[in-house]
Chains A and B, each alone.
Chain A
Amino acid sequence: MRPIANTRDVTGVPTGRLAIWWVIGSEIVIFGGLLASYLMYRLANPGWAGHAAHTNVVAGGFNTFVLLTSSLFAVLAHQAAEAGNGKKAAKLLIATTVGGLIFLTVKGFEWTHEIQLGYTITANTFWSFYYTAAGLHACHVIAGMIVMLIVAAKARRGVDLHHVELIGIYWHFVDVVWIFLFPLLYIAK
């Protein structure tokens, strides 16, 4: 492993990992604000249960399964990287990325069907929240996939293996956000 800046340890946490936790902290405020807003509108408006009934629980549940499984691959990649096995870590990171791709594909079919039925982002406030929250989450999935492929390419060559853990922490957070989005948007009818 190369002695680069983000492996320094001043606070008891390597700087790179500390930076990721700060990213997570800012993401908590971003998603937290959005979900808190959704929650207060939802509680004030029982009629939204009727809109939520049109979301596809099977698709949402399958996507939760996909994200949980991709999180498993991400943490196994971290374990492999820690053991110095960059090639295995790279393979597991690619498997994680495939999980993200499956998630986005299902989301694409789901949204296409909903838009065809007239449930667009401007249909009403519920669908505005639905597309904004799920869309923002999907953007995070895409960003994570891009970074993960870069980290995987480097890990394959045995370079910067500590980055595997950092992208993993981010990916798990994206998973945690979906864990809350799923019941809020799909389950609560």
Chain B
Amino acid sequence: MAYTNNDHQTCQIRTAETKVAVGADDGDTQDLLRTISLFLVLMAVWLLLSGHYTPLITGFGIVSCLLSALIAYRMDVIDRESHPIHLGPRIIFYWGWLMAEIYKANLDVAKCILFPKKHLRPSMFTEKVTQKSDLGKVIYANSITLTPGTVTVDLDGDIVMVHALTKASADGVKSGDMDRRVTAVMEEA
């Protein structure tokens, strides 16, 4: 058991090294941008949660955030997936649209709970996902789950299995509107 674990780890390290070798020339400025953005996010959270604004404490905050960002940069863990700044403002608009959907779906589920005889039609079906990257698939599956009335049960390859509470929510997923929007956000035609 221990031996296989070790083997697995060295294997992982080797793939990480090859990734660095490949990725060194295609996204250096992007990496730097992501590191700076990570530092800004860390700093914002620090300022938000500390509440003390004396020079000493804030200095400690700046130093520790800088150190964390540097270590993350050295470890090469800030890639497109963990820190997707390339999505930019499009994802904000998408969240706005998602909020409206969540509002509508909540009223739907509330009706269903209050009058189960009339509305409750649970169903389970599979649907194809059109996003190519893992990040896009995760955003889509999480959006489905976040909208009440539909829950992602399984995501395997490009097939997503959905459990829907009512006929309306099942039709909402089957129409593929959300799928198209996520694909547009990811800029993957």
Chain B binds chain A: no
Interface residues of A (CB under 8 A from B): none
Interface residues of B (CB under 8 A from A): none
